Structure 1
C-alpha cells in the first residue's frame, strides 16, 4: 500500500515526558519512517506551543488547536448529548474541519487514532473505504479504570465515574469493531477489551518500549541533595493523576512509617509535576519530600536506593517502572504495577501484594545492598534485551497496511 498517514492524538506528542506522550511520541516517530504523516492533536496549555517546531519538523502538515473547554462545561455538554465527558472535553470544531479537509485533499491511506477520545474525528464511513486502513490505539481500557473509581468511591463522584465507565465501554466497543486493528499496551489489557467487545474485532497488544540510551545510569550523576541520610525511596509520575495520588498516599501514610520504626532515617521522595494539595500536604509527614516538577527525573532515579510503585489501580504498562529498570534501579512494586512487564519477581524487581509484604520487602532490600544492585543490573539487562522501542514498533508497518515496509527504510 502507498499513500500518507493521518495521526490523531489527544495531546501534543512533545515532549515525551509523561506516560501517554512517551508512547504517542515514539509511535509518531515510527509512523514517519513509513510514510508522510499529517498530525492532528490538541494543545493543553500555552507551554505546548513552545514545542510546535518539533511537531512541524516531523509532520507533513498539522493542526494543533488549544483545548480550552472548561471541564464543567464539558460535563454539561456530555449530559445533554448522553456521551462520555472525556469525549466532549476533547472536541474541537477547528480540528474536525482540518481532518475533513486533509482527508479530501491528501492521499491518506491509513489513520492511526491514539486514545479513544480521538475516534470522534474519523468519519463513520472510513472503515467502508476499501482503500482505507484504520488503527485505533486505546493504550488501555479507560472504561475499566472509571468503573474501578466508581466501585471505590461514593456519592455523586461515584455516580459520575460509573456513568463515564458505562459510556466509554460502549465507545471502546464501537471503535474496536470499526477498526482494522485495535491496539492495547499489554496482552492483559487486550484480553480485557476482548471480553467487553460485542462483535468481531481484531484486538492485539503493542507494548511500550523504553529508551535505554537516554535512561543510561552511566551518563547520570546522582543528586547532591540526596547524598546524605537515607535509605531513599523514590516515586515518579504525574501527580494530579488519581492512581499516582493514591499510590504515594499509601506509601507515605501506611508503608513508610513502618519502615521508619526500624530505619528512622528512611526518606520518601515524590517526584512529578502538578502535585495536588493533598500530595503537597504529604510533605509535612516525617521523612517525606514533595519535589513537584523537575527538569529531569533521571538524577532522582540514580539517587534512589529503591524506586517504588505501590499502585492499586494500574492500566497497561507503567513507564515509570521501565524507566527505573533501565536506570538499573531496584524497583519495589505492587502486583498491579507489574502488569504487562514479563519480568521475574525477585530477579528483575520485587513485588509486594499487600502493605505488609511491601514493608517486609523494603526492609529486606535496605539491609541487602548487594541484592538491590543485582536486581537493578538484571532489570537493565532485561529491558535492553526485550523492551527497546525499535523492537516494540517492528510490527507497525504491517499493522498500518504497509506490508513489506521496514521502519529502517526511511530512517
Structure 2
C-alpha cells in the first residue's frame, strides 16, 4: 500500500515523544508498504536526519514553515474558532505543496500524526488514519493551574477548542488511534471506544542494561523545554530532593535531556547536575541507581519510563504516569503521590539492594513483554488496511 505520512515535525533526532513514535512507526510500516513522508519543519534539518529517514521512504519531503507567517496564522485560527496550534502549523504555501505531492504520488492512504495537521488533508477523498497520539486537550487543561496570570486564559481557550476539534476530527477520518486507554477515555466523542489503542514500543536492542558505576542516586530524563518535564524537574529538585538530602546528605540528582529551559538550568547545585543534551542518553540512565519521574501534568505514555525499565533501572513515578504505563505498582514500579511518599520510596530503595534488583528485573520483564514496536505498529497497519 502507498501511504502518505504527514507529520508536524521531522521525526529525527528522537528527542521528543511525537518524533520517537512517528520514527518507529514509519520504520516498521516501510517493511511492507511504500512510504511518502511529508514533515513540516520550524528550522534547518541536518543531512544526518535526511539520510536516516530516506532509508525508510520512497519519497521524503521536508517543508519549512515560514516563521514570519506564524503569528498571522495563529490570529486567523483564533478568529475562525480553531485551536491556536492548528494555526501555528497551517500555511497556504504548505497546503499547495501537500496538494502537489498528493496529486503526484496518488497515495492509497493518508496517515496523520496529531490533529494539528489534519487541516491539510481532511477535505480529500482518500482514506485517512489519524493518530491522536494523546489527549492534547487534557494536556493543555492540566497546565492551567500552574500557568501565570497571562497564560491561564490562553490555556483555557486552547483546551476548550482542542476538545471540540478532537471531537470534529473523529468525523473527518476513517481510522483513529491513540497511545493509551486513559487518553482514549479523555476524547470527547460518544464513539471514542472505536479509537484503537496503539501503545509505543521501546527499542530493546538499543536500550540494554549497562554496567556503569552509579555516580548519581537519581536520574530524570526528557526534553527539558517541554512544560510537563520542566514542571516535573522543578518539583523534583525544589521539593522532593531537599527533603531527601535531610535523610541522605550525600544524595546526588542528574537531570538529563535536550534544550533545558532557563528555569531547569537554574536548578543546578552542588548535589544536582543539569547535563543538557548528551550524545548517548543511555549513559545518563546507567549512571544512576534509580530512575524517577514524578509527573504531575501532561498526557500520554512516558517513553522515558520504558527506556529506563529496558535498561534494568528501578523506577519511581506518579499515579498519573503509571495509569498510561500500566505497570503493577509495588511489583514492576513504585508509585508515589506526595513529596513525603516519594522521599520514603527513594530512601527505601537506596537502602535495600535486594529490592532494587527485584524491581529492576520485574520492570525489565514487564517492558519486554508489553511494549514492542513491531506488535504495536501491526495494530496500526490493520487499522489502515480496514480503512482502505
Normalising by the residue count of structure 2, what TM-score does the alignment of the two structures yield?
0.94
Q: CA deviation at 1:152?
A: 3.8
State the match for 2:67 in structure 1. 69
- For residues 1-35 of structure 1, what are the alpha-carbon distances to aligned partners after superposition, in whole Å with 9 as ceiling and x for unaligned? xx411100111112223211110001111221232
1:297 and 2:281 matched? yes
Tell me the distance in 2 between the aligned counterparts of 1:314 and 1:339. 12
Note the C-alpha offset of 1:303.
1.4
Contact 1:12 1:48 in 2 (8 A): no
Q: How many residues align?
A: 387
Cα shift at 1:262:
1.4
Q: Deviation per CA, 1:316-340, whole angstroms, max 9, x where unpaired?
A: 1100000000000001111112122
Which residue of 162, 172, 180 maps to 1:178? 172
Which deviates more, 392-401 or 287-296? 392-401
Counterpart residue number, 1:41: 39
Separation of aligned partners in 2, 1:103 and 1:43: 19
2:129 corresponds in structure 1 to: 135
Question: Is 1:308 the counterpart of 2:292 in the alignment?
Answer: yes
CA contact (8 A) 1:44 1:68 kept: yes
- Residue 198 of structure 1, CA deviation: 5.4
One of 258, 261, 266 as aligned partner of 2:251: 266
**Which deviates more from structure 2 when the two are superposed, residues 324-333 or residues 144-153?**
144-153
Q: 1:119 — aligned with what?
A: 118
Instruction: Give 2:205's aligned residue.
Output: 213
| Offset from partner CA, 1:362-400 (integer Å, 9 cap, x none) | 110111022111111111111112212112222222211
Instruction: Choose from 140, 144, 147 the match for 1:153.
Output: 147
Match of 2:58 among 57, 60, 65: 60
TM-score (normalised: structure 1): 0.89
Aligned match for 1:323, one of 276, 301, 307: 307
1:102 offset after TM fit, Å? Answer: 2.6
1:8 corresponding residue in structure 2:
6
Q: What's the CA shift for 1:288? A: 1.0
Q: Deviations over 1:226-278 (max 9, x none)?
A: 54xx5x20000001111111111111111111111111000111101111111
- Within 5 Å, which residues of 2 pair with 1:4-403? 4-69=2-67, 72-124=71-123, 126=124, 129=125, 132-193=126-187, 196-197=188-189, 202-217=194-209, 220=210, 222=212, 227=215, 230=216, 232-284=217-269, 286-401=270-385
TM-aligned CA distance change 1:101 to 1:311, over 3 Å: same
Mean Cα deviation higher: 81-90 or 114-123: 81-90
Contact 1:221 1:299 in 2 (8 A): no
Separation in structure 2 between the aligned mates of residue 139 and residue 200 of structure 1, nearest angstrom: 14
Alpha-carbon shift at residue 62 of structure 1 (Å): 2.7
Shift of 1:151: 3.7
Aligned Cα root-mean-square deviation (Å): 2.1
- 5+ long unaligned stretches in structure 1: 405-411
Distance 2:350 2:192 in 1: 51
SS of 2:349's equivalent in the other structure is helix
Is residue 253–residue 272 contact of structure 2 (8 Å, CA) maintained in 1? yes
Give the drift of 1:72.
Answer: 4.5
Call closer, same or farther: CA 1:250–1:102 in 2, change over 3 Å.
same
Which structure 2 segments of 5+ residues have no match? none
C-alpha separation between the residues in 1 aligned to 2:286 and 2:354?
16
SS of the aligned residue for 2:255 comes to strand
- C-alpha distance in 2, partners of 1:201/1:212? 30
Instruction: Spell out, residue by residue over 1:40-84, the C-alpha distance to the aligned partner (whole angstroms, 9 max, x if none).
Output: 111232244541122233222232122342564554343344322
How many angstroms apart in 2 are the aligned matches of 1:61 and 1:191?
Answer: 36
Distance of 1:85 and 1:238 partners within structure 2: 22
Kept after mapping to 1: 8 A contact 2:28/2:373: no
